[in-house]
Amino acid sequence: AIEMEDAKPLLNFLKQPCLRWPVLETNNGPEGTWKEEEFNLLETLAFLRGKFNNNIFIQFFVATDDKNSNEHILTLDQAPLFLPAREDYLTNSTEAEKSRRALLQLMIDIAVTLGAHTSTAQLNMESVLEFEFKIAKILIPHINRTSEAIYNKLSVLQLQQTIPQVSDKQLH
């Protein structure tokens, strides 16, 4: 049954307004066209989090407060990237370069399998990998991620003042 469906269920899923994927634009028809002015990153991340319980850019969960074990708090942290370690993006070792090439090829293959043109997929996925590289540069290295170093307790109001795009409606 899955073989007969091929990529159709995923392509239909990607036609949802918050999930349209620019690399597939030419094959998704007008109802699947991505429009930058209609794209809302926070809405998309919330949708994906609710649907698949994944962490993109930000990892958040309820945990016991490290400084008061009687309290539970919403914990926000950096989410992992696709490659296992930040250093896999930042070092020029043979292994790291091999991992980056394999990741790029996987992303291209997935886009092409879903109907993207090879040249478009190559350009778009190189941009995605470059974006992950930029994110890796700003992540806190594992060695510096002590409980004390990454503890920064904020109230919801302080979080909203720090990140105005976050509304309390979105946190519920």
The per-residue pLDDT for 142 is: 83
Nearest to 77 by CA among 129, 132, 153: 153
pLDDT > 80? residue 152: yes
User: How much is the pTM?
Assistant: 0.77
Q: Tokens 């979105």 sit at which residue?
A: 170
Confidence of residue 167 (pLDDT cuts 50, 70, 90): low
Count the neighbouring beta carbons within 10 Å of the beta carbon of residue 122: 18
Per residue in 92-113, pLDDT tens? 999 999 999 999 999 999 999 8
Residue predicted with more confidence, 13 or 170: 13
